[in-house]
Amino acid sequence: MRKKLVAGNWKMNLANLFELSPNEDVDVILFVPFTHIGVNRHLKEGGFNLGAQNFYPAESGAFTGEISASMIKDAGASYVLIGHSERRAIFGETNEFINEKVKFALKEDLIPIFCVGETLEEREKNITFEVISEQIKIGFKEVSEEDAKKVIIAYEPVWAIGTGKTATSEQAEEVCLQLRKLISELYSKEASETVRILYGGSVNMKNAKELFSMPNIDGGLVGGASLTAEFSEVIKGAAK
Ligand code: PGA
């Protein structure tokens, strides 16, 4: 059985965690800005996990402005976001670079939440699956089955991120099921049943329960609704 997981992506914002309480049915990860990983380290004793929103895939060196996987781990984070659509669109990250990051993170024992998703134009052209399948195939290139099982995939349709326009639970389930079949083809049935697949894009306290109850959706990656007390309700939406 795959345990449900809800991840909050604060992006370049700060959140009010006042009323956040853990739930034993659900793994919770907070992707906070770099400078707030250390500050929030105490949350790990409260049953939460910490993640970084980015890193650079090299051990050290002349990469002004970048942060390494080991620095992130030293600060107290165990997870890292890779392939988020904002990194792809604003910072020009390609599938090939994302593959480098996936491999490097795994080598350094950081668990990737690997995001994939189509734009509205791609959905309207009916090429959603081609786009996502290319993102997955390149992203997992040269990743062993043992490592692939550790990766958490997040299906985030670009048109649903920060827009208030959520995919219906049927649309999200359809793609998550296709993603699971793809993992089965690339690796094995066992790998496809182990990998957790999240949905992200305008998840809120009203739609969380229905989305997370779909058979192939193991939880969510939550932006806006992770910044306030609403996040507790979203977490409850993933509980049994
Ligand atoms: P959103 O963001 O929940 O605000 O749509 C999701 C994300 O970017 O991961």
How high is the mean pLDDT in each 10-residue block of the chain (240 residues)? Answer: 96 86 93 94 90 98 98 97 98 98 98 98 97 98 98 98 93 98 98 98 97 98 95 95
Mutational test site, ligand 1, from 5, 6, 9, max ligand atoms within 8 Å of CB: 9
- Using a 6 Å cutoff on CB, does residue 157 contact ligand 1? no
Tell me which amino acid residue 210 is: E
Is residue 155 within 8 Å of residue 199, measured between CB atoms? yes
Report how far ligand 1's centroid is from the alpha carbon of 70 (Å).
Answer: 26
User: Model pTM?
Assistant: 0.97
Closest CA to 152 of 181, 133, 180, 184: 180
pLDDT at 19: 76
The pair of structure tokens assigned to 35 is: 């400078």
The pair of structure tokens assigned to 224 is: 């806006």
Atom of ligand 1 nearest to the CA of 154: 9
pLDDT at 240: 87
Task: Count CB neighbours of 222 within 10 A.
Answer: 28
Atom of ligand 1 nearest to the CA of 204: 3
CB environment 153-163: b (16+ within 10 A), e (fewer): bbbbbbbbbee
pLDDT at 170: 97
Report how far ligand 1's centroid is from the alpha carbon of 225 (Å).
Answer: 8
- Using a 6 Å cutoff on CB, does residue 223 contact ligand 1? yes
- Using a 6 Å cutoff on CB, does residue 230 contact ligand 1? no
- Whose tokens are 């949905």? That residue is 199
Backbone angles phi, psi at 130, to 5 degrees: -60, -45
Is residue 151 packed enough to be buried (19+ CB in 10 Å), middle (13-18) or exposed (0-12)? buried
Atom of ligand 1 nearest to the CA of 221: 9
- Using a 6 Å cutoff on CB, does residue 106 contact ligand 1? no
Mapping DSSP onto H, E and C, the string for the chain reads CCCEEEEEECCCCCCCCCCCCCCCCEEEEEEECHHHCCCCHHHHCCCCEEEECCCCCCCCCCCCCCCCHHHHHHHCCCEEEECCHHHHHHHCCCHHHHHHHHHHHHHCCCEEEEEECCCHHHHHCCCHHHHHHHHHHHHCCCCCHHHHCCCEEEECCHHHCCCCCCCCHHHHHHHHHHHHHHHHHHCCHHHHHHCEEEEECCCCCCCHHHHHCCCCCCEEEECHHHCCCHHHHHHHCCCC
